[in-house]
């Protein structure tokens, strides 16, 4: 049982609200009621809504970076891919989408600082995937027909789109299709030695 500061609770619930309804889809009132404070208290921590969303996207991006870093790059590529995909599948059943995808609709009215973090988030994912493809390529029998970086952009795009589709269709069909393509691009794992 851990007690979080009001500020932490605000960010935590803001993450959920944005991932559910987007930047224009929730209000300070919604957030205040979830945390159990008055709207004026939110303004104490985050003077404007732009400040709040900036903090939320920073936190979201930092957590993803931590997750990517936590995957052991010495593991077989197929296992790394599995660990990367696991939380995507888990979230797909939720009514929460990727925060960066949700904010993408509001790109024209979001501050530059927010856009910059969104770009970092996507590039971070693409780079992680690209490096995975690079290492995987060395272990594969047949080479890739496209550069790792391009392959990473296509696969990551399909995964993002697949997550969005999961909410619209109520099925992980498209996310699974993208995940399969990633999994199939991994080299076949050598059998584990057992005595």
Residues that bind its own copies (CB under 8 A): 20-22, 24-25, 95, 97, 101-102, 104-109, 115, 118-119, 122, 145-146, 150, 153-162, 164-165, 167-169, 173-174, 177-178, 180-181, 184
Answer with the entry of its own copies, DNA, none that 39 interacts with (C-beta below 5 to 8 A by kind): DNA
Nearest CA among 126, 151, 156, 154 for reference residue 140 = 151
- What single-letter DSSP state applies at residue 107? G
Residue 20 binds DNA, judged by CB under 7 A: no
Q: How many C-beta atoms surround the C-beta of residue 21 within 10 A? A: 16
Residue 8 binds DNA, judged by CB under 7 A: no
Residues touching DNA, count (CB under 7 A): 19
On the CB side of 24, CA atoms within 13 Å amount to 7
Q: How many C-beta atoms surround the C-beta of residue 72 within 10 A? A: 9
Burial 135-144 (b: 16+ CB within 10 A, else e): bbbeeeeeee
Answer with the entry of DNA, its own copies, none that 93 interacts with (C-beta below 5 to 8 A by kind): none
Nearest CA among 1, 46, 159 for reference residue 13 = 46
Pick between residue 41 and residue 149 the one whose CB is nearest to its own copies. 149
Answer with the entry of DNA, its own copies, none that 30 interacts with (C-beta below 5 to 8 A by kind): DNA
Pick between residue 10 and residue 102 the one whose CB is nearest to its own copies. 102
The two structure tokens encoding residue 36: 């159990």
What sign does the CA torsion over 6, 98, 116, 83 have?
Answer: positive
Pick between residue 51 and residue 134 the one whose CB is nearest to DNA. 51
Answer with the entry of its own copies, DNA, none that 12 interacts with (C-beta below 5 to 8 A by kind): none
What residues between 40 and 79 interact with DNA by CB under 7 A? 40-41, 43-45, 47-50
Residues in the site for DNA, rule: CB under 7 A?
6, 26-30, 36-41, 43-45, 47-50
């Amino acid at each position: 049982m851990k007690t979080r500061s009001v500020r932490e609770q605000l960010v935590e619930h803001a993450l959920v609200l944005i991932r559910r309804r987007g930047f224009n889809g929730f209000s300070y009132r919604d957030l205040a009621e979830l945390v159990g404070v008055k709207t004026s208290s939110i303004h104490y921590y985050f003077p404007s809504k732009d400040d709040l969303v900036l903090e939320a996207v920073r936190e979201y991006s930092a957590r993803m970076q931590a997750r990517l870093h936590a995957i052991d790059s010495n593991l077989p590529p197929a296992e790394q891919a599995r660990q990367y995909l696991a939380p995507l599948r888990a979230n797909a059943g939720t009514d929460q989408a990727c925060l960066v995808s949700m904010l993408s609709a509001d790109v024209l009215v979001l501050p530059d600082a927010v856009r910059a973090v969104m770009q970092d988030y996507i590039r971070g994912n693409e780079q992680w995937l690209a490096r995975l493809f690079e290492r995987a390529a060395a272990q594969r029998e047949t080479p890739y027909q496209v550069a790792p970086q391009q392959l990473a952009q296509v696969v990551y795009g399909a995964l993002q789109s697949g997550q969005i589709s999961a909410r619209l269709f109520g099925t992980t069909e498209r996310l699974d299709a993208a995940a399969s393509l990633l999994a199939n691009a991994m080299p076949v794992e050598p059998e584990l030695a057992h005595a």
